[in-house]
Structure formats: structure tokens, C-alpha cells
Homo-oligomer: A and B are copies of this chain.
Amino acid sequence: MATFNTKTTFMTHSRSNPSRSSSRYLPRLVAMAQSQSYWASIESDIETYLKKAIPIRSPESVFEPMHHLTFAAPRTTAPALCVAACELVGGNRIQAMAAACAIHLMHAAAYTHEHLPLTDRPRPKPTIQHKFDPNIELLTGDGIIPFGLELLARSMDLAQSNPDKILRVIIEITRASGSQGIVEGQYRELGVDELSSDIKIIEYVSNKKEGELHACGAACGAILGGGAEEEIERLRNFGLYVGTVQGIVAKNKPGMEEKIEKLKGLALKELESFKGDKSELISRLVEPSLCAA
């Protein structure tokens, strides 16, 4: 999945316009620096929260792999979008923190299981370094899913939220990480050769995996931040388009440029009714260059 790589992005943009006057691009550079700093601060807060939530404690045989696999999974922008959506609708960052972490944990469990060496699995995924043997990775993934949801269920005081909102967010996250989201996307990937795969399959899988996870992130943030129903749905759609774009871009398949541009346009349209700096900052997620593969 796509990861934040703001430094590279920044440099790429500067270098891609060598002949232009730097003064002309100063406002854009300033805006980009603000955007980087905003997303970096969210990422840093999520990491701090996660590290506190998963200390390496007894039994170490359980918590050491859980800690390792949680942080070994590549970051996606879905948890950060959860926090940003919460702030966009007027909530406090802390209200979305447990949900953002739960979303990362669902992704980390899925990523771990996706790379498990099963006896008769075709290997569509690039092999990764395994610090633990398959049994441990299987069990750790199985432990991470309930752990993430427990973290969320326990977050009521922290989120200054009512239990109805937390239950609603649990439903969002279980849907997105289960058979109507990531798991359904993974089913469709089974036995599909990535290089030769059909454009429609790539779009479908990106929609179910990165798309649903980002839709869920945005919706959860908006719910927890006290957004109106219309705001929640607009942000959910924004997340779906943005996540789908990221999934497609990561596959790097020629011939999908038009689809990507269309989805980016749809995403930005969903943000039109939101005003202010935070709306501008969130809109940056449609730039694949901000979320380098």
C-alpha cells in the first residue's frame, strides 16, 4: 500500500520544474511544507499511541511478535485520514486516536497473513523478510484483530464519546476489515497474476482493500469528531476514491491514468462543501506524489 513519503515528494516536485522561477512557486512550496508538517504530526501521534498500546510485556512470546508485526507493516494513510477527518469536522485529535490505531492494526494483521507461506499458496505477493516462523505470524495476526477492537472498545473516556459512537465505529471497522472489505479484496486477488491482471480486477481489488480502509478511516474520524451525517458520508466517499487511487497507483499498471484522474476529481468534489485550511490539507491525499509508493 501507499505510504507517506513527504520528503521525497517535496524534492521531486522541486526538481520537476527546474527552469521556473522559485518565487512563482513559493506559495505552493509553503503549502506543501504545511501539508507535510500536518500529516507528519498526525503520523507521529499515531505511532506514539500505538507504542504505548503495545508495549513489549509478558508474555513476551506473544507481545514481541505483535509489536514487531504491527510496526513492520508498511503504513497506509487510512489511520491518518481518520484523525484528519475528525479534526476537519471540529473534533479533537485524541478522539480519533484509538480508531486510527485500530485501523492500522487491521491493516497490519491483513498484511501479515497476506505474506504467510502456506503449503499450496501461489505467491502473487513479493516475498518479505520473516522474523518469525509461520505459526507465530498466523497467531499474531489472529491476536492483532481482537486486540485492535478491544483497544477501541476501551477508548470511551479517551474519546470523550458516547458508547453509541464507539459501537458505530466498531461496525465500520469490522466491515472494512472483513468480508465486505479487505478480505473480499484478498479473495479476488487469489491466483491472480498481478502483472497480467485485468484493469477491472485491479480497480475492484483497490476499491475493496485500500478504498474501503480509507473510506472507513474517514467515516470513523467524522463520526468520532461529531460530524453531521452528510459530512460523514462525504468524507467516506472521499476516502473511498482516495484509497482506490492509491491502490491503483501502487500496482503501476499502464492504461489506468484516465481512471485515476476521474477518481481524483470525484474525491475533490466531495470536499467542496468543507471550508478552511484543514480541508486544503486533506485534499492533498489525492496527490499520489504525496503518498509515494
Contacts and interface: CB of A to CB of B under 8 A. Distances in A.
B59 A143 contact: no
B139 A187 contact: yes
A149 interface: yes
Interface string A107-137: 0011001001111110000000000011110
Contacts of A113: 138-139, 142
Interface stretch (A31-39, A160-168, A282-290): A160-168
Contacts of A110: 142
Interface stretch (A16-24, A178-186, A231-239): A178-186
A10 interface: no
A143 B183 CA distance: 6
A179 B65 CA distance: 11
Count of this chain's copies in the oligomeric assembly:
2
A142 B143 contact: no
A239 B110 CA distance: 32
A-side interface mostly = helix
Interface residues of A, number: 50
A279 interface: no
Given A59-B184, A117-B118, A154-B171, A190 B135 contact: yes
Most chain B beta-carbon contacts within 10 A, residue among A110, A134, A163, A190: A163
B147 A167 contact: no
A154 B177 CA distance: 16
Contacts of A75: none
A260 B11 CA distance: 68
Interface of A: 59, 61-63, 66, 106, 109-110, 113, 116-121, 133-136, 138-139, 141-143, 145-147, 149-150, 153-154, 156, 162-164, 166-167, 170-171, 173-175, 177-179, 183-184, 186-187, 190
10 shortest interchain CB distances as A-B pairs: A146-B178, A163-B163, A146-B174, A150-B174, A143-B179, A143-B183, A118-B134, A117-B119, A153-B170, A62-B179
Given A142-B186, A149-B174, 12 more contacts: A66-B179, A116-B138, A118-B119, A118-B138, A120-B133, A136-B190, A142-B178, A150-B170, A150-B178, A153-B167, A153-B170, A163-B164
